[in-house]
Structures are given as C-alpha cells and as structure tokens.
C-alpha cells in the first residue's frame, strides 16, 4: 500500500476546503463555540468529505487533551446496565470523545483509589462512576486533573439503588388494575438481595392492603422466566387470582406462558404486568404491559454532565422526564366477573 493511500487528511486541508483558517478549524474541534452557523456548516462538510479524524496522540502531546473518557465499573457485577452505557457512549461520541470502560476489583475504597489515579494520570479527560466513590464527587477538570462525575445509582454489584429502586410504580399498576375490576392479586417477586425487588414487594403489600384488595401471595423469584412459569403452575385450578404483577419482563413472560398452557387466556382470565419494557415484549403475543425505565436518559444526562465539566462549562440541567412509565398493552384488561377460569383448566394442586 502506498504512503498516499494511508496518509491522513490534515487540518490545513480541511481549512482549505472549507475556505477558513486552520485556526478556525482548530477552534471548531476544541468546541470553543462562537463560530457562525455557516462557518460551522462548511467545516463539518469539509471534515465529512475528507474523512478527517483528529490525531489524538499529537493533540494530547500539545494540549494535554486525549479525547478519552472513562466509565468506572465494579469488576464483579450482577448485570451490566447496557442501555445506560450505550446511551452514554453515544453522547460521548457525538461530542467528539471516545468512551472506554474500566473495571476495578475490590470495594468502594479500591474503586476510589483507581478513580484518583485516572483523574491525575493524564490518560483521560473525564471519569464517570456509576457507583459511589467515598470522598469523591462531581468536579471540573483542572490543568492537572480530569473531571469526575459520580452517579451513585448502583451498588457494588451494579444493582439499581436510589431512584432506580423506587417501587412506587407498583402502586399505579395496582390502582389501574383495580379500576378494571381486579380484586385478587399475585406478585412474583425478585430476589431479596436487590433493593428494587424489596421496594416493589413492600409497595405491593401496602397498596393491596390500603385498597382493600386480596393478595394470594408473594412468590420469591430470581428474575427468571422459570420463576413466573412455576408460580402460575403452582396455583390451584380454582384460583381466584386475576392479576399478576411480575418482578421483570422475563418473569412476566413465564407467567403468560404458564397461564396459556393452563387454558387461562391473557388478559381474558389473567392480566399480567412486567417491568423494564424490553423491546422483545412489545412484539410478544399478547404484547406485554410493562414499566419502561429510562436508563438511556440517565446515561445521556450523566455523560453530558461529565463533558460539560471537562470543558469548564456549567453542567446542563437533567431533562425533566419520569424515570418510570407504565406502558399498557394487550396483556392487561378488565377482570372477568368472579375471576372464573375456563372449565377443565389443567394445572397445579
């Protein structure tokens, strides 16, 4: 391959094509603002046409800017918040940064020590931590250190805490179903080790009692479809249950499958609600009512806050939007009078 074939276009070539000075292109790349919209349009068009990409190594040597942001995660996790991380990565890339994930063995102190190392290493311009960092909080960048943002919405195993563990939406679900005539409920819960599962269980019991409804049990689950499947097959054939609130979407999917196997129509005989609003459940048959959790919004807001601190700007206010929203679909409907199940339904004992 010839040297010309691999040669990178330069900032001077971008400036020549855009008919501006190379200082103007450099200003655009530093996101310093103050450029006329037409100038921005010409520079962006030239960058696109030439396929120009900044030489991050050279820029780092000149300006101590690396164009890299780090997301700090515990090494031993229950599950990765992929939707949040994907949205954060998109926000970083749109602002001209690369986002990388750094995992750290140990507890909060080890993670804090690693964060301090990264902040002063010169390797990254900003550090975003989803879990708490004792002694560290949001801070802007300085000539000798990177910016830092601590979200703190996840525990040591990246299980949701804080707003992510808010179970109040369970109350809205029960009130909606009660308005459709449902009086007999079942909850297939998540594991007690999760704050979110404990909160949903507590709200379920409180609201059922407050509204004078009947709970036919809280079944301990593990977030799996099998937990929901087994819970429904364990109900007696004469069970009066007409509404099931599942810990998450896989559990709700197991509930629906078992109900249909027993000849109990969904929602004709059993209304089912999940949690997380995974894309797949929107296209299931029946489509699943669920609670949509705006993890993308969380990731975008956190990354934009970090980028603002990197640039020495005032962090933008988080976009006003609810974290949780009830999405009603085909798996919920009015209760059948008396909770009557089809004659001869197969099932548990």
155 pLDDT band, cuts 50/70/90, is: confident
Q: Minimal CA–CA distance to 326: which of 165, 183, 168?
A: 168
Q: What is the mean pLDDT of residues 282-306?
A: 94
Q: What is the mean pLDDT of residues 172-196?
A: 97
- The string over 317-345, giving b where at least 16 C-beta atoms fall within 10 Å of a residue's C-beta and e elsewhere, is eeeeeebbebeebebbbebbeebebeeeb
Per-residue pLDDT, 27: 79
**CA dihedral in degrees (309, 311, 312, 313; nearest 10)?**
-80
User: What 3-state DSSP class applies to 153?
Assistant: strand
The Cα–Cα gap between 216 and 201 comes to 13
**Same fold yes or no, 3-53 and 64-162+297-323:** no
Q: Which CATH class is domain 64-162+297-323?
A: alpha beta
Could you report the per-residue pLDDT of 61-80, keeping only the tens digit for each?
A: 444 578 899 999 888 776 78
User: DSSP assignment of 185-198, as one string?
Assistant: EEEE---TTSHHHH
Tokens of 279: 């894309």
Write down the mean pLDDT value for the chain. 88
In the predicted structure, residue 142 carries a pLDDT above the cut 50: yes
Q: What is the CATH number of domain 3-53?
A: 1.10.260.40
Tokens 């919209």, located at residue = 37
Per-residue pLDDT, 6: 53
The answer to whether residues 42 and 19 touch, using CB atoms and an 8 Å cutoff, is yes
Number of H helices and number of E strands within the chain?
12, 10
Out of 3.30.160.160, 3.40.50.2300, 3.20.20.70, 3.40.50.20, the CATH code matching 165-292+327-339 is 3.40.50.2300
Better-predicted residue by pLDDT, 141 or 227: 227
Could you report the per-residue pLDDT of 93-132, keeping only the tens digit for each?
A: 999 999 999 988 888 888 899 899 989 888 899 999 988 8
Could you report the per-residue pLDDT of 239-288, keeping only the tens digit for each?
A: 999 999 999 999 999 999 999 999 999 999 999 999 999 999 999 999 99
Quote the pTM value: 0.75
Could you report the per-residue pLDDT of 193-213, keeping only the tens digit for each?
A: 999 999 999 999 999 999 999
Name every residue whose Cβ is closer than 8 Å to that of residue 307 and which is 6 or more positions away in sequence: 69, 91, 92, 95, 97, 126
3 pLDDT band, cuts 50/70/90, is: very low
Q: What residue segments make up the domains of the chain, in order of their start?
A: 3-53, 64-162+297-323, 165-292+327-339
Per-residue pLDDT, 292: 95
The Cα–Cα gap between 214 and 207 comes to 10
Q: What percent of the chain has pLDDT over 90?
A: 60
């Amino acid at each position: 391959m010839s040297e010309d074939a691999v040669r990178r276009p330069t900032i001077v070539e971008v400036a020549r094509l855009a008919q501006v000075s190379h200082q103007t292109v450099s200003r655009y790349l530093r996101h310093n603002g103050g450029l006329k919209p037409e100038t921005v349009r010409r520079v962006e068009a030239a960058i696109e046409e030439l396929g120009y990409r900044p030489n991050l190594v050279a820029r780092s040597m000149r300006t101590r800017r690396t164009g890299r942001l780090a997301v700090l995660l515990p090494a031993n996790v229950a599950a990765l918040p992929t939707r949040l991380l994907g949205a954060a990565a998109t926000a970083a890339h749109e602002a001209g940064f690369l986002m990388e994930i750094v995992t750290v063995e140990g507890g909060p102190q080890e993670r804090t020590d690693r964060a301090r190392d990264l902040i002063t290493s010169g390797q990254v311009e900003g550090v975003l931590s989803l879990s708490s960092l004792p002694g560290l909080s949001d801070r802007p960048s300085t000539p000798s250190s990177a910016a830092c943002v601590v979200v703190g919405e996840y525990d040591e195993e990246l299980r949701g805490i804080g707003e992510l563990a808010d179970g109040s939406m369970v109350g809205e679900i029960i009130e909606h179903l009660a308005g459709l005539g449902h009086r007999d409920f079942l909850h297939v819960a998540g594991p007690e080790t999760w704050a979110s599962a404990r909160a949903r269980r507590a709200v379920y019991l409180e609201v059922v009692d407050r509204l004078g409804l009947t709970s036919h049990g809280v079944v301990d689950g593990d977030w799996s479809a099998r937990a929901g499947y087994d819970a429904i097959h364990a109900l007696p054939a004469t069970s009066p249950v007409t509404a099931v609130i599942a810990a998450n979407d896989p559990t709700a999917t197991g509930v629906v499958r078992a109900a249909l196997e027993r000849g109990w129509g969904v929602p004709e005989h059993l209304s089912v609600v999940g949690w997380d609003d995974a894309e797949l459940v929107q296209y299931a048959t029946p489509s699943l009512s669920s609670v949509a959790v705006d993890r993308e919004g969380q990731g975008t807001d956190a990354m934009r806050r970090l980028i603002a601190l990197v640039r020495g700007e005032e962090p933008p206010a988080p976009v006003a939007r609810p974290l949780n929203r009830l999405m009603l679909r085909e798996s919920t409907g009015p209760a059948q009078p008396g909770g009557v199940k089809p004659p001869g339904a197969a099932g548990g004992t």
